Structure 1
């Protein structure tokens, strides 16, 4: 197996490397998605409108569920498969930007996914707004050679057009919902409807042609709605839809409590991770309670909770009354990279730094962003840190032993300290924190994706899960865009989870 980023800098994708063959998979014309484009921002406005004027996601989701039930979908929303007791499946999150970082994941994904029974996309199948015509280059084309079914849960971007395209692709070509009565004038609902983004006229005309790319019988998957459960071998995999704002409605909450009953080991797939960046986000349920309350209940037998939305990999082994639940972030499937170097020293739910895992490593993340900002601000000589310098200054700021030794030549100077501080390394406030550049804050997240790089290393990732009656092995594989990691995808993290 090839070196990972924990072994060598070359294993992380740094240094002189040959670009992979993923570019041959891409369409002739690729539109690079820019989050600095005012048109893109305006199209993706529904999340902001929902937070200002009320979130209609729960009501719309209920209407989709009722439509699917009327069409004959199982009332319990459980997909019952005939997988053996020993089988494997893939999880990949936040995939669909349709550019080089997404396609760079594909060769390694296809290698690592050989003999798997199905895959799950965990959040944000399509950027920027989930349009039907984007499924050609952002779903059907990249995964045309994956010979098994693909299930999905929607992310907030899939909801920006009320989930219509998602339902057509994954839910048996579900027809559009009928229009609702107009709200009373001058109410919050009226203002929201007035400003609400809707699909453009004629969207989806290319969908039938795009489906031909994944048209074989063994690739077909029909799911009962935007949330579902899969009984596969000895486990139940439960996918929940957290909508625009990272919550679930009361109807879905009642269903989740019901399908979580029983002794079968369970894995949660969610669009909003429950532990992320050293913080706990339990995911509220309308009417009371949280998703994590359900996960932590010993009668429900959850062993893992995997969330997308954040574009990197993180793992938190949380002790819950004497048993360990693995809380995982897996959103590195193709969209721009969210920084890991801004994650503080971990101390949450009795999980310490020695138990925490992330990819990219914090030092690699800082080196990546230092290059990005140096290029964007035209201050390359000042901002750019080598991966060794970045690793060393992260170790100093957080007081940790780095997963990959920086080497004796990596000196921590006033410049490396200043750049690390300006880029928010370690999430620790200091004298320069008021001048910190935008890396994680929601009001400045647009800058980083707008500066996305289209040359390796990309620091993307995906999961393979191998199930037996006794255990679940979870592995995080890296995709850098370089040929070496494409031919032999390195394992960045691995954990075996008992099922008995």
Structure 2
């Protein structure tokens, strides 16, 4: 097993290392997605439009579900997989940018995925707007060698074209929805319809051709809709669709309550994580209640809730009344640009402390990565760029923690390293420079960070493997840096055994 980032700097991907062979998997020409491009921003406007003029996602989702049910999909939306009590599956989130950082994950994913029964894509299958034309290079090509079925839940980007391409790929080539009646003039719905982004009439003309890359009988996966449940072995895996704005419609909420009943252990997979960046986001349901209320109910027997959307790995083992521990996991590091972990404050939430909390990349590696980005973009490399050792040392000082990887005796915390850490929001802690803090989380990760995506290692990507027995689930987070060493032997960055009894 290769060293992990918790062991050595080389295990994190730093240093002069041999690049992996993932480039051989990529198409000859790759379009580099830039969120600084006004054309991209305009195409991806539906999230903003929905927040201003009302979110139609719930109504559209209901129409998709009704269409699938009329076509013969099971009313309970449960996929029943026959097999042994022991099985394995993969979870990988926020994959589809189609560039180096996505393809760098593929060799390790295929290696660790050997012998697994299926995989789940947790949120944002395709960037920037879920177009059918992008499925060839961003789904079928990278995962063509994965021999088992792949199920998916949509993320907000898959909804930017009303989920049409997602339904065609994962839901038995569902036909387009019939047009809705025009809204009354000068209403919010009318204004929204004028601004709403819709797919091109020619979108997806080559979809049947690229499907051939994953056409083997064992690769076929047909979902009953954008949300579903899988009964496999001793557990039920439930995937929910949180749409454009991270909420559930009332119909899906009622289904979730019903499908959560019973003593069978359950794992939730969602496009909106319930615990992330040291905060609790319970996910509201239209009409009242939250997803987390359902997950926490002891009568429902959930053991884990895994969410995508945020492009890194985090784990919060929350101990509930009665001595039950629920593992809340963020797993969105499957291919898109990296969201910072160094902005996560010292964790103390729901009884989870720094001793229990895990993240990847480590905060020091995240700070070193972002300092390099700012140094290059602002042409101030000598000022901004921190070594991984300097970044680790200053994070330890700011948060008052013992780092998972010791920075070494020569790592000095200086005025410059403190200033850079403060400007980049390290630890999320306000201080005298906070008024000058650079936009690392809100604006930066929405615009500047994706536009600064790197095309050379380390990428700090990750994916999960879950091995299920009647007694327990073994959950492991594996890293993909883009370097050859981690490509050949993907390191385990976190591991937990979740009892089912």
Q: When the two structures are superposed, what TM-score results if normalisation uses the length of structure 2?
A: 0.99
> d(CA) in 1 for partners of 2:84 and 2:419?
55
CA shift in 2, pair 1:110/1:376, >3 Å: same
Map 1:102-181 to 2 at 5 A. 102-181=102-181
Match of 1:484 in 2: 485
Three-state SS of the structure 2 residue aligned to 1:88 is: strand
Shift of 1:80: 0.3
CA distance in 2, matches of 1:444, 1:495: 29
1:258 aligns with 2:258: yes
Q: Secondary structure at the residue paired with 1:300? A: coil
State TM-score, norm by structure 1.
1.00
The number of equivalent residue pairs is 500
Aligned twin of 1:286: 286
What is the aligned-residue RMSD (CA, Å)? Answer: 0.6
2:68 maps to 68
Supply the distance in 2 between the matched residues of 1:84 and 1:3 (Cα, whole angstroms).
33
Please list the CA deviations of residues 221-241 of structure 1 after superposition, one character each: whole Å capped at 9, or x if unmatched: 000000000000000000000
State the alpha-carbon separation in 2 of the partners of residues 178 and 130 from structure 1: 19
1:2 match: secondary structure = coil
Deviation, 1:434, is: 1.2
8 Å contact from structure 1 (residues 79, 223) kept in 2 = yes
1:473 to 1:4, Cα distance in 2 relative to 1, 3 A: same
- What is aligned with 1:182? 182
| Distance in 2 of aligned mates of 1:24 and 1:232 | 35
**Residues 23-422 of structure 1 mapped to structure 2, 5 A cutoff:** 23-321=23-321, 322-422=323-423
Deviations 1:140-175 (A, max 9, x none): 000000000000000000000000000000000000
Specify the SS of the correspondent of 2:242.
Answer: coil
CA distance in 1, matches of 2:445, 2:218: 43
Cα shift at 1:445: 2.4
CA shift for structure 1 position 201: 2.0
Secondary structure at 1:243's aligned position in 2? Answer: coil
C-alpha separation in 1, matches of 2:21 and 2:225: 36
Distance 1:82 1:442, change over 3 A: farther
Task: Provide the residue aligned with 1:466 in structure 2.
Answer: 467
> How far has the Cα of 1:101 moved from its partner?
0.1
2:456 matches 1:429: no
3-state DSSP class of the match of 2:48? helix
Q: Deviations over 1:22-63 (max 9, x none)?
A: 000000000000000000000000000000000000000000
Contact 2:339/2:445 (8 A) holds in 1 = no
1:443: Cα distance to partner? 7.2
Aligned equivalents of 1:434, 1:245: Cα separation in 2: 29
Q: Determine the C-alpha separation between the residues in 1 that align with 2:156 and 2:83.
A: 31
State the Cα distance separating 1:83 from its structure 2 match. 2.8
Q: Does 1:496 align with 2:497?
A: yes
* Contact preservation (8 Å) 1:439, 1:445: no
- What is the DSSP-based 3-state SS (H/G/I as helix, E as strand, rest coil) of the residue aligned with 1:298? coil
Tell me the secondary structure at the aligned position of residue 231 of structure 1. Answer: strand
SS of aligned partner of 2:486? helix
Contact 1:268 1:304 in 2 (8 A): yes
Q: Which runs of 5+ in 1 are unaligned?
A: none
Return the alpha-carbon distance in structure 2 between the equivalents of residues 12 and 371 of structure 1. Answer: 15
8 Å CA contact 1:318, 1:349 repeated in 2? yes
| Deviation for aligned residue 1:442 | 4.5
User: CA shift at 1:206, angstroms?
Assistant: 1.1
